[in-house]
Amino acid sequence: MDRARLPCQRMYYPLTFLIHFNYKFYMGKVLARSINRATGYLETHTIPSGMEHAMSRQGIANSHMTKREFLKTCGASFCALCAPYLFAFPQTSQAQMAKKGLIKTKPSPYYTPLTGGDIQCELCPRRCRISPGNRGFCRVRENREGTCYSLVCGNPCVIHLDPIEKEPFFHVLPGSKSLTVSTSGCSFRCKFCENWEISQAFPEDVYSYDVPPETMVKRAVQMGARSIAYTYAEPTVFLEYILDVSSHANKAGILNVIHSNGFINPAPLRDLCGVLDAAHIDLKGFAETFYQDLCSGNLAPVLNTMKALREETIHLEITNLVIPSKNDDMATLREMFLWIKAELGADTPLHLSRFYPRHKLKKLPSTPISTLEKAREAALSCGLEYVYIGKVPGHEGWNTYCPQCGNMIIQRTGYMIGEMYITEGRCAYCGNPVPGIWA
């Protein structure tokens, strides 16, 4: 799963530009700020002779600007850039303004009352027993006087337009745009989480939007999105919001797709299946010990979820993040490949994704590309027909090949679609059916 862009990060890019711009007007030996997530360090740079000559012609090279003046200039430029958004377009600014803290709450049907005012949440297999005034493991479900409340229904902290391939769905409307939505909270504690800033946050600690379901769908239509993707953190923790948005999306002819850890109980899963068009499940490993040690979860419910999605004939794709020394044992991977073929079908698209050091596993190396290539070869030899290598742009493993004739039927460059040879859901060369949603 790719990283989400938080509301505050949208101002990060212009700030980066302005600091770089003002850097050009610093003296011969300058201090430039290298930004990493809006923080950074100062290091010395030498201006190339050509630039120094140009600056001297303007009387700039010999000027002396202090660090305070440099940062002050950056700040002034930043404010100037922001002014049109804050004053010239008040309606747009207000519509997009994010707020910190709880915005809305909604009673949830997924709980069982217990004695003493306690409740048992029935959303995920964890089945948290929650005493009055407290919250469950996911941080976004609270017991208020014996009733379970969702604290994130209608309060997304991430809303933006993405290529559908970023989710990553490779067999759903290739080349189309998807409006991606997420709130804070998660039913896991993955040590390798790419979006831990929101998945492991309380809803009060992130900046969120107040977006009613009908407004979300209206935005999707205005932005030309053909689907709404519930993704980034863990979407099942805001299931009530998904159900509300989906009812409007279906009427507007917009697909509902989800990227989830699959850790959900059968009853709420049935409700989800009633509005879902496609699901992408993270099969994080194929051992209970892996799930318990690195995710604080369990494998069996995830496997059951994927089987249920198949039974409901919902398009399913799977990602396995291959982590060095943690879940890259080839024998275990083969066992996983054979299970997918037997239980879900040989035509289930599988994405073998590259791990990059992050969150609590920063000391591990990135997955060697050779490991991913060996795993892909093993998956194909086990009988899986559509196996991709994720997060290695430009690799041939990003393309789709017909398992019948071997021809490339979808060419991808990053998240962009090049050539595509699929006609009415079939290979244009040999007529072999290709699973997915193509129109």
Peptide bond into 109 cis (omega under 30): no
Confidence band for 280, pLDDT divided at 50, 70 and 90: very high
Confidence of residue 101 (pLDDT cuts 50, 70, 90): confident
* Residue 10: band (very low, low, confident or very high) from pLDDT cuts 50, 70, 90: very low
Give the pLDDT mean for 265-288.
98
Res 313: pLDDT: 96
pTM for the model stands at 0.81
Strands (E), 168-224: 177-182, 207-208
CA dihedral 342, 345, 346, 351 (to 10 degrees): -100
For the cut 90, the answer to whether the pLDDT of residue 169 exceeds it is: yes
Question: Which two three-digit tokens encode residue 112?
Answer: 């069982």
Q: Per-residue confidence at 89, pLDDT binned at 50, 70, 90?
A: very low
Give CA–CA dist 109/153, Å, rounded: 13
pLDDT at 365: 97
Question: Amino acid letter at 7?
Answer: P
Output DSSP code: residue 437.
B
Query: Residue 315's pLDDT is what?
Result: 98
Q: Regarding predicted confidence, which is higher, 153 or 12?
A: 153
**Is pLDDT at 91 greater than 60 in this prediction?**
no
Q: Would you give the DSSP letter of residue 203?
A: G
Whole-number pLDDT of residue 96: 57
pLDDT for 1 equals 62
- Quickly list DSSP for 219-240: HHHHTT-SEEEE-SS-GGGGHH
Task: Provide the pLDDT for residue 84.
Answer: 37
Contacts of 202 (CB under 8 A, 6+ apart): 139, 140, 184
Is residue 256 classed as helix, strand or coil in its secondary structure? strand
The reported pLDDT for the residue numbered 49 is 34
CA distance 88 to 102: 29
Chain position carrying tokens 């299970």: 339
309 compared with 26, residue with greater pLDDT: 309
- List beta partners, residue 207: 100
What CATH number does the domain located at 158-427 have? 3.20.20.70
